[in-house]
Amino acid sequence: MSRYYLLLLLGLFGSVHAEESIWDELTEPAFGLWSVGVVAKQSPYHDVDTQVSPALLIFGGYGDVFAEGNRFGYSVYRDGTNFISVVGNIRSNLTLTEEQIDDSSVLSTYNLEERKTALEAGVQIGRRLPMGWIGRVAFLQDISGAHKAQEIDATVFRRDEIGPIRLLTTFGIQAQSKQLNDYYFGIDNKELALPAQEAYQADAGFSGEIELIATYDFKLLGKHDLGVYAAVRNYYFSETVKDSPLVDKPQSETFFAGVGYYF
């Protein structure tokens, strides 16, 4: 009987060891903070409620692929000062669904079509700047067939430590094409429902971005490196967006928070 238990224990140990080996192999290329969180988005459109949803948020990457919230990419050149990457970007802050249109006292007076989430792709170049800042410029093209347009995104960011808190600060400016703005904020003739309504065509314009992410790191049972964070990302749009009949306020606000594991 004792021999049976010994064989059983050896089998269990071998099974656990094999599972740990597989887990180690799978997670070895991972880096940065991988987290589960909650995202709350405040829309610029009239009478659209704040959207709250769970999310998997990665601030790191896997192997040669990096991820920064809604942006991901692959570095093709890096020398410690300059870098070049191919990137993808998920534009979801301006999404407008049929349900949101129907629930809005203003938007429901039109025959509006959905404004869909866009997947954009392009090239990003960057450079380390004085005083700890990093600058980058991305050239993005919609590849999902949503707005079918382009954007140039320029940002500077830096990381600071304030006591036990690490703070990531980002400032940005985006040059959005006429086609992009008109897709999200314009109203064409077929979307009019009442005689008094008028079509609206948005022009090209700029938007400003401010993002703050505060992170606190800690250990669980003295062994595992974890991080908890809270963040806000605001976009401020130009006059052509402000003048749209669809818009309540020319800005979109996103709040997100979560907890994750450092690989």
Where do the DSSP E strands lie in the chain? 30-42, 51-62, 65-68, 71-78, 82-91, 118-128, 134-142, 150-162, 165-176, 205-220, 224-237, 251-262
Task: For residues 160 and 175, give the distance between their C-alpha atoms in angstroms, rounded to a whole number.
Answer: 28
CA torsion angle 187 71 75 150 (round to 10): 10
Task: For residues 109 and 107, give the distance between their C-alpha atoms in angstroms, rounded to a whole number.
Answer: 5
For residue 8, the model assigns a pLDDT of 45
Q: What is the largest CA-CA distance in the chain?
A: 90
**pLDDT per residue as tens digits for the range 222-255:** 777 999 999 999 999 999 999 999 999 999 999 9
For residue 51, the model assigns a pLDDT of 95
**pLDDT per residue as tens digits for the range 78-105:** 999 999 999 999 999 999 999 999 999 9
What is the residue whose two structure tokens read 């600060």?
169
Cβ–Cβ under 8 Å, residues 44 and 251: yes
CA 169 centroid distance within chain: 15
Rg of the chain (C-alpha set): 23
Neighbours of 80 (CB within 10 A): 6
pLDDT tens for the chain, 263 residues long, are 445 544 444 454 455 455 557 877 888 899 999 999 999 999 999 999 999 999 999 999 999 999 998 999 999 999 999 999 999 999 999 999 999 999 999 999 999 999 999 999 999 999 999 999 999 999 999 999 999 999 999 999 999 999 999 999 999 999 999 999 999 999 999 999 999 999 999 999 999 999 999 999 998 877 779 999 999 999 999 999 999 999 999 999 999 999 999 99
Domains of the chain listed by start with CATH number: 33-262 (2.40.160.40)
